Chain A
Amino acid sequence: MKRYVLLALAILFAAIYLFPVYWMYATALKTSGSIFKYPPELWPSQPLFQVSRVFAEHDIGRYLWNSLLVATGITAITMLLGTGAAYALANARGAKANVALFLVIVLQVLPPSLMVTPLFVAFNHVGLLDYPRTAVVLATAAKTLAFYIVLCRATFTQVPRELKDAALVDGNSHLGAFFLIILPLARNGILITSVLVFLQSFGEYVYSRSFIATRELQTATVNLATYLSANSADWVGLMNYAGIYVAPILIVFILLQRQIVTGLTSGALK
């Protein structure tokens, strides 16, 4: 009995916590007249689906596509550089390895809002600002890399050393052992961490806002921010936009919830 009381309490806490997410979708379903009722309608009395109208009106597809491109690029670079480094750092011991790990962590603690000026200057200098989305990808990957390395390193430490040693005895090179034996075993951890990096990159804002001047190339965050400051009265449109934007994130999260929680809890602090 007590266990079900606890479950009920847990659901209540989660419901209170997730209320803002509910409120976003509840508002998105209201009519523009009913949102200004006070006391507010906790449940939309005449739900109205305006998703497709808002989607078309603001050309959201284009901005989501840009966000998707940017997030894919960031995830690709992070995986490419991070997987090997995480594996090597899981094996390495000693002062050099500690310095490397320290650099990896310390070099990403700076707020992007502070790094953006020098990066802007440097990218401008080498002509990268002509390819603004690439610039965002390169800059953001430096932020996600540390998170990725820390979590993946924990995954690699769980792969038994003997398997690698056996592969080496069988005549594999270190390169071969890494690709044929170790990577397949660490696959789940790598995939979940990559999904997390992808989800976070999908919401990147500071670099996109500062580097991407052309409207057609902007990401959904920047476009949403423009909308936020320009049309502060059109809450229904805004909540529809926000709801459309986070829907894929929430769907991926719900599908992979178990794995994400396990991935975070097994690697979070190790």
Chain B
Amino acid sequence: MLQSGFARYLRDGKGFEGTLIVAAVLYLLVFAAFPLLYTVLMSFQEVDMFTLGTLVRPFAGLKNYTDLFQRPEFAPIVWNTVIFVTLSIVFQLAIGFALALFFLQDFPGSTYVRGLFLAGWILPALVVGAVWRWIFAGDFGVLNYALQSLGLIDGQIYWLSDPAYALYSVIIANIWLGIPFNMILLSVGLAGIPGDVYEAAEMDGANVFQRFLTITLPMMGPTLGAVVALGVIFTLQQFDLVAALTQGGPANSSNVAQYWSWQMSFQTYEISGGATVATMMIALVIVVAVIYVRSVQREQSF
């Protein structure tokens, strides 16, 4: 029976596998690359509600960017974003690493109890935000109660409505959400370090801290790189928590770039401004993604 050339091409190894990859990449080009380029384009154009649906619009040059830099809220929101990302990563990583090391020890049920932590990771961020909002409540919140019982604070802290604390509330919830993922990825990295390296070091008289500094940390280098890069990407994506906890308030004190960009596009309809913030974030995220992909490739060569 004769087969058409195309059908044979599809059944042949290269054609079959090539088609599978092309289908997925095409989908991503349409639904991910297109919005990306469109956002970059909009950041250089004058966009309003009426020209939103057309591609050809007056060229604005760098005006959207200079306008944005001059806004009074620009510097505080950039600074908030830096604090949000830095503190989230540092604590997620430190707590996640400590837990991963702890669960590396041999005791009954260790895998099972470690798995329980993932329950936090699979919950919708919006629900997590709603629950934390109740924990943070000023007058009746259980967090204030816990801190007072421990003697750490005297009065009530109004976590979500006090501009001095609002950002840190979102950060605390975000750290909570990120711990399981960090712990699991770091556990995988730790499991990959051969045990005989430790035994050799122990025979040479290295103590726990020396072994950690000279073996664990260097050998975890690529994993740590990947975990930090993924953490930065996830933290820069965190929208749901901000929406559930503070909505960027009070007075932008807990606002971060990704939420601000959405607010401009969907709440105040300053679409060019939203696109400009988005474009600057895209540039940052792509740099981080390149670092991530490179550290993953280095890992594979082990």
Residues on A lying within 8 angstroms of B by beta carbon are 3-4, 6-7, 9-11, 13-14, 17-18, 20-21, 23-24, 27, 35-40, 42, 81-82, 84-85, 87-89, 91-92, 97, 100-119, 121-122, 124-125, 138-139, 141-143, 145-146, 149, 173-175, 178, 196, 199-200, 202-206, 209-210, 221, 224-225, 228-229, 235, 238-239, 242, 245-246, 249-250, 253, 257-258, 260-261, 264-265, 268-270
Contacts and interface: CB of A to CB of B under 8 A. Distances in A.
7 contacts: A10-B110, A97-B21, A118-B34, A146-B28, A174-B12, A224-B127, A261-B114
Contacts of A111: 236-237, 239, 258, 281, 285
B297 to A, nearest CB: 8
Contact of A110 (B24, B126, B187, B285): B285
B213 interface: no
B126 A145 contact: no
B243 interface: yes
Contacts of A35: 140
A242 B38 CA distance: 36
A206 B145 contact: no
A210 B185 CA distance: 32
A107 B32 contact: yes
Contacts of B28: 103-104, 107-108, 142, 145-146
Nearest to A27: B134
B86 to A, nearest CB: 18
Interface string B230-241: 000100110110
Interface in B182-217: 184-185, 187-189, 191
Contacts of B133: 228
A53 B192 CA distance: 51
Contacts of A3: 106-108
Main secondary structure of the interface of B (DSSP, over half): helix
B119 A20 contact: no
Given A38-B140, A115-B35, A225-B244, 4 more contacts: A39-B145, A103-B25, A245-B124, A268-B185
Given A105-B289, A118-B34, A92 B21 contact: yes
Contact of A260 (B118, B185, B188, B189): B118
Nearest 8 CB-CB pairings of A with B: A203-B124, A84-B20, A85-B24, A142-B31, A88-B17, A118-B35, A118-B38, A114-B278
Given A20-B132, A114-B258, A268-B184, A92 B123 contact: no
B27 interface: yes
A199 B17 contact: no
A174 B38 contact: no
Contact of B113 (A14, A36, A118): A14
Contacts of B236: 111
Interface string B256-288: 001101100110000100110010011001101
Contacts, number: 301
Given A7-B109, A104-B25, A116 B265 contact: yes
B271 to A, nearest CB: 7
A239 B134 contact: yes
A141 B118 contact: no
Most buried by A among B35, B125, B189, B282: B35
B36 A235 contact: no
B128 A141 contact: no
B293 interface: yes
